[in-house]
Amino acid sequence: MDLDELMDSTISIAKKAGAFIRNERQGFQIESIEHKGFNDLVSYVDKEAEKMIVEGLKALLPEAGYITEEGTETVQNDVYNWIIDPLDGTTNFIHGLPIYSVSIALIEKDKLLLGVVYEINLDECFYAISGRGAFCNGKSIKVSSATKLADSLIATGFPYYDFDLISKYLEVMKNLMQKSHGIRRLGSAAVDLVYVACGRAEAFFEYNLNAYDVAAGALIVLEAGGHVTDFGGGDKYIFGRQILASNFKIHSELMLELKDFSNKEHD
């Protein structure tokens, strides 16, 4: 498997899907949305972009399976699987808020091989191959050099269902607001992660996430010199539905802030 060729082709597929999404946004009508569940929105744009991505990837690695948000392809493989979010930030897209992305990762069993996150509105393509560093539009990127929480900007997300832990989560955010430069909620976990990778934020944390939300961005953070764990410091961040990504230097401080929440979640 030539990962360099695979990466080049995956970037092209992500950008093609992004161009489709950008074009559809111009005439998008909010009446086109569907509800998968409470506050869980989807549109024909998500579905068609996913079909486009899967079709392109099938030609690259025919033996691979797929883990997809919209379920347009459901066959999984014991070794290689593509993990795809065709439109991360659907709610932003629907409302015309310009932060949303295409996220594609390739995993071999439990090892991430490559990741691509294409932020459509700024035309920024972030990508990484395991062991090769992280890049944005051809330029090497690194995490922030901030050494303490007090000098950091923190990104997070809010759950749109399963609000049982929301009070504890809001308590964490209240504490972080007083101990950092602030908290931002952008609406696309994939974008949050790559912004940590390139130093625009020092950390990102969120729970109730799926593999397709975080797989590509997590690899990009790691390859940019960052650290990625679950809230307890373990390695269950791809399929464990919680993630803490940072520039490494403030990771321990953040884990202390999340300690009570993490314990509560696993009671």
Which residues are annotated binding-site positions for Mg(2+)?
Answer: 69, 85, 87-88, 213
Which residues make up each annotated binding site?
69, 85, 87-88, 213
Token pair 């347009």: residue: 72
Count of other CB atoms within 10 angstroms of residue 104:
27
**Is residue 67 a contact partner of residue 75, using CB atoms and an 8 Å limit?**
no
Question: In angstroms, rounded to a whole number, what is the distance separating the alpha carbons of residues 254 and 185?
Answer: 17
Both tokens of 241, joined, read 């539905």
Question: In angstroms, rounded to a whole number, what is the distance separating the alpha carbons of residues 82 and 14?
Answer: 13
Q: Please, what sign has the CA dihedral across residues 68, 1, 109, 215?
A: negative
List % helix, strand, coil for the chain (3-state, nearest 5): 40, 25, 35
**Is residue 93 a contact partner of residue 87, using CB atoms and an 8 Å limit?**
yes
Three-state SS sequence of 52-100 = HHHHHHHHHCCCCEEEECCCCCCCCCCCEEEEEEEEECHHHHHHCCCCC
Question: In angstroms, rounded to a whole number, what is the distance separating the alpha carbons of residues 219 and 123?
Answer: 20
Among candidate residues 196, 203, 223, 200, the one with its CA nearest the CA of residue 140: 223
Question: In angstroms, rounded to a whole number, what is the distance separating the alpha carbons of residues 194 and 196?
Answer: 5
